Structure 1
Amino acid sequence: MKVNIKSFLAFQKALPVIKRIESHGFQAFFVGGAVRDALIGRQIGDVDLASSAIPEKILDIFEKVIPVGIEHGTVIVRFDGESYEITTFRSESGYQDYRHPDKVEFVSDIKEDLARRDFTINAIALDKNGDVIDPFEGLQAIESKKIQAVGNPYERFEEDPLRIMRAVRFVSQLGYTIEEETMAAIQQQGMLLEKIAVERVAIEFEKMLQGEALVQAIDICDDASLFCRFPIFRDYPDLFHQAKTITFPLGGFAEIISYFVFRLPEVSIEDWSRQWKLSKQVKNDAKGINEAIQYYDSNGLDEWLVYQLPEKLISSFARVAGILYTRDPDRLKENVKKLRTTLVITNRRELAFQAKDLFDITPQKPKGPWIGKLLKTLEKKVVSRELRNDYNEIKEWVSKWNPPGKD
């Protein structure tokens, strides 16, 4: 089989890198996810290369080289404004930490290098002419839409248990099924997930719930008893069943947390963030989405919800609410955006009556938390059209609500 390299801009840009390596007497090939996606017909991402040149030779060949994993044969080459990860052909053995090989040996054959890959769909290389090197029948796996381990699946998962999650993630992203022996290994070796860093599992779990075929992936997690290997889930088995009610893709971990916190309020956003070791940004976004969902659950969609919802969380809110209330998230998103265009004000700075105005009419009243609370009340009344955004009208309301000189 041959791939038309010219039809992929990313491959075209990387061709001079391959040609320069070859001009120095070494081999170089396209490898990794870009090759897989090109063969499947998906949009390709970053282009990775494998070469017979050892890292020291790559350092000699190119001017800008970052030795990110030079001890394992990997460097990043900066060329014509792009970054390319180049790894020397290698074989690996011994994985005492369930991630990194204890021994790496550089080899001269691309086929030996492909033998260390996780799944056959990822064990395919392309040369500069677009000719396919496929020693493990990855093309056949693509044609039959199968996720199959390279060689012995039990050995592959023992080397790095994260491959279990990667298999399930590929099911979600590609809509593929898992080959029988590979699936049997997943069912038997799921406990190995507890031996690896939760941050690594979190990345794959998040990607799994972003795929179009996430329903099938969730079923596999349930059937293979993988959920009980995850933080929070292992202590709350009912969440397994709640996961099965997720019927279309979520956009990230903040949405995932928001969904499950609504289903199981006794586990807080802080608990999820701490146990999954998520960033402060994810935690804050989850809080914002959750607050909007809680309000929506009690009041429906109105101006006050839309006013308080940060623009960057509109899509997230719509997706989570769409799943929870079995509604069309795209329509809900459009309704939010439409309502947003009708708001009287879009932030507190646009309020006709500010804190300084409050001080002017209550000079003797000590400052305190009441100021923020009052301004919040004014915001809500203006947004909800109970008051016009007019200085005199708001001032009159404030004077009646809290006449000067009185507590």
Structure 2
Amino acid sequence: MLPKSFEPVYEILEQIEKNGEVAYIVGGAVRNYLLSKSINDIDITTSATPTQIATFFPNVVDIASEHGTVLVIHHKIPYEITTFRGTKNTLEDDLMYRDFTMNAIAMNKNGDIIDVYGGTTHLNEKRIVAVQHATDRIKEDPLRIIRAVRFVSELQFSIDDTLANVMKHEAFRLEQVATERILQEWTKLIKGHSIQLAWKCIEATQIALYLPLFKEKPTLMNELATMTEPFNGLAEFVAYMCIRNDTFDLQQWIKKWKMSNEVKNDANKLLLYYNHYQLHGIDDMLIYDVEEPLITPFIQLLQKVTENLSANMLRQKWMEKRDALPIKSRSTLVVTGHDIMELFPEKRTGKWIGDLLREVEVAVVRGHLPNEKIILKEWIQCHPPVND
């Protein structure tokens, strides 16, 4: 019987088999189940083709049928289903083309584990081992070089010596991989709790010589080599690299690594916050200005850069100070831009409104003025905007 984590998938496997084909749960979901870790996406491998799958289920989305993959929406949850890889259309042949033995473990609808290549043994040994021939697996998809290091960071596993040697020898092939795909793995890698082991793997295999910007200045890795704490995400990573080494600016990191505008904007804010910190320390305005989603990344950034602050202690003090602020955001300020316009009806709307609101905001946050409408209006009238 399927473990409870996989029960929602039973009907899919059963439906495929009712139509004369075979199907198995495979990959990360099975690996995480065996490691007693949380299970997110559940992938299925099958002898059926995408065309057949489309006839088995009422709600099928074609995401890459040319590569044998479709999504089946079952009870509003998407499941990725891929036709067996290889020429023999068998489970064993499919598993042979997967990256590492720990990801080449399957489970049938009865909950039985099918482990052809010793993945469970390697899981117990905490070793990342390529399926059969490491060189073949890396040449099939060089991204697997970064994936291996990502799993080191996430799982605190070691890389099998044979695989490590192949990764070093074939590292140049990373230049053939789309930067966007590398970025996906890098994003997970820098969040791993065994990140220091990952840096050691990168150094041993000389992977950095083929990564954007690092290949232009390999000594950038020196800024990471001794780091033991994971990053919250890409924005914190980029801000940290910009602070610790000014060889490349924010725009270069974003462009070369093909990061999103969201990452760019968040990283830029973190750098602005850090500049304020350098000038004024952790004052009321810094605590007020740091947007809530960026509190944790900024605290972790400070902890990494200063190296003498406990992130947990800093966060506790930060939140205590934040709770004590007279206002938490501009929306809690009792005067608005409309109020200011009414006080100066002869003025045309423009940037001056926001500037004046900021002055009021700062005065309230710093305790120079109470957040009371009458008093603030009187202050504003006494401090009219400068004429254009």
Bin for the TM-score computed over the shorter chain: over 0.9
Q: 1:247 aligns with which of 190, 215, 228?
A: 228
Q: Distance in 1 between the 2:89 and 2:111 partners?
A: 20
Q: Distance in 1 between the 2:135 and 2:386 partners?
A: 78
Over 3 Å counting, the alpha-carbon distance change for 1:352 and 1:194 in structure 2 is: same
Q: Secondary structure of the equivalent of 2:324?
A: coil
Q: How many residues align?
A: 387
2:127 corresponds to = 146
Q: 1:31 aligns with which of 23, 26, 29?
A: 26
Over 3 Å counting, the alpha-carbon distance change for 1:227 and 1:362 in structure 2 is: same
Q: Distance in 1 between the 2:197 and 2:230 partners?
A: 12
Structure 2: any 5+ residue segments left out of the alignment?
none
Q: Distance in 2 between the 1:14 and 1:248 partners?
A: 36
Range with greater deviation from structure 2 (345-354 or 320-329): 345-354
Q: 1:262 aligns with which of 231, 243, 264?
A: 243
TM-align CA RMSD: 2.2
Q: Distance in 2 between the 1:251 and 1:318 partners?
A: 10
Give the partner amino acid of 1:338.
Answer: E
Alignment deviations for residues 3-28 of structure 1 (CA, whole Å, 9 cap, x no partner): x733x33x111011111111222211
Structure 1: any 5+ residue segments left out of the alignment?
92-104
Alignment deviations for residues 241-261 of structure 1 (CA, whole Å, 9 cap, x no partner): 101243211121111111111
Q: After TM superposition, give the deviation of residue 85 of structure 1 in Å.
A: 1.3
1:63 corresponds to = 58
Q: Distance in 1 between the 2:356 and 2:382 partners?
A: 13
Contact 2:44 2:80 in 1 (8 A): yes
Alignment of structure 1 residues 292-307 onto 2, 5 Å: 292-307=273-288
Q: 2:74 aligns with which of 66, 70, 79?
A: 79
Range with greater deviation from structure 2 (370-379 or 138-147): 370-379
Contact 2:175 2:210 in 1 (8 A): yes
TM-score, length-normalised on structure 2? 0.92
Alignment deviations for residues 317-371 of structure 1 (CA, whole Å, 9 cap, x no partner): 1221122222222332232222222221222243344445545555666665444
1:94 corresponds to = none
Q: 2:199 aligns with which of 194, 218, 241?
A: 218
Contact 1:32 1:123 in 2 (8 A): yes
Contact 1:168 1:208 in 2 (8 A): yes
Q: 1:43 aligns with which of 38, 43, 46?
A: 38
Q: 1:232 aligns with which of 202, 213, 222?
A: 213
Identical positions, percent? 35
Alignment deviations for residues 362-394 of structure 1 (CA, whole Å, 9 cap, x no partner): 566666544433332221121011222234544
Say yes or no: does 1:173 pair with 2:173: no
1:53 corresponds to = 48
Say yes or no: does 1:331 pair with 2:328: no
Say yes or no: does 1:185 pair with 2:166: yes
Contact 1:362 1:405 in 2 (8 A): no
2:137 corresponds to = 156
TM-score, length-normalised on structure 1? 0.88
2:186 corresponds to = 205
Say yes or no: does 1:290 pair with 2:271: yes
Q: After TM superposition, give the deviation of residue 196 of structure 1 in Å.
A: 1.0
1:19 corresponds to = 14
Over 3 Å counting, the alpha-carbon distance change for 1:349 and 1:68 in structure 2 is: closer
